[in-house]
Amino acid sequence: MNSLQNWKKGFLWMVCLCFLPLLFLASPLPLKEKDALANHSCRLRKTNFQRFYIRNQTYTLARMARLADNDTDNRFVGQHLYIRIKEKNHCYLMKRVTEIVVENVLSELKNQYPMAEEVANFLGCLHKELSNCKPLGHKVHIESNIEKMKDKMKQLGENGKNKAVGELDLLFDYLENACTEGISTSKRSNQN
């Protein structure tokens, strides 16, 4: 059972880390198609979000962190992140938020929460898949919303980091909604 689970875990990372790059390497596409792909690189496969194991780990970790969070006034992940941001840039924005949470939060709380490292690896993997995802048009509002989030996190100190862990389930859902196509598993699916 244990070794099967480990195998599954290993397989998950292998698919995520190896399969996608191979797909690109293995098919020397004509330049135009490469362009088209590059222009649509703010996309993640739906299956990334449909694996029960990692979804459960992420949600469980968030639930654990929320037990230690008594501040209900502040929130990092929410619709306010999208203020003045065009829908086509939502995925890029969530990519940036993911980066902050992985680098500034999860990496520091690895010892505090048992699943933090695994969830960090998963999110890091998605971030890598979005490595070609660039903003379209002006970046000024994106940067300003990101800065506001960072400032608030700094202001809240350790509590802020813990709060960000408590919002990992939201981050998971927002990333899915912003970066995958098709019908969403969450309440909102504003694609057009």
Ligand X SMILES: *[C@@H]1O[C@H](CO)[C@@H](O)[C@H](O)[C@H]1NC(C)=O
By C-beta, is 112 or 189 nearer to ligand X? 112
Give dist(CA 120, CA 41) in Å, integer: 21
Which H or E element spans position 138?
none
Q: Does 35 bind ligand X (CB under 6 A)?
A: yes
Q: Least distance from C-beta 48 to ligand X, angstroms?
A: 18
CB of 83 to ligand X, least distance (A): 25
Contacts by 71-75, CB closer than 8 A, 24 or more apart? 71/156, 71/159, 71/163, 74/152, 74/156, 74/160, 74/163, 75/163, 75/167
Comparing CB distances to ligand X, the nearer of 18 and 136 is 136
**Interaction of residue 112 with ligand X, rule CB under 6 A:** no
Q: Which of 163, 185, 189 is nearest to 77 (CA)?
A: 163
Q: Does 6 bind ligand X (CB under 6 A)?
A: no
Is residue 71 involved in binding ligand X (CB under 6 A)? yes
Among 3, 70, 79, 192, binds ligand X (CB under 6 A): 70
- 56 belongs to the binding site for ligand X (CB under 6 A): yes
Q: How far is the CB of 71 from ligand X (least distance, A)?
A: 5
Give the residues lining the site for ligand X (CB under 6 A).
35-36, 39, 56-57, 60, 70-71
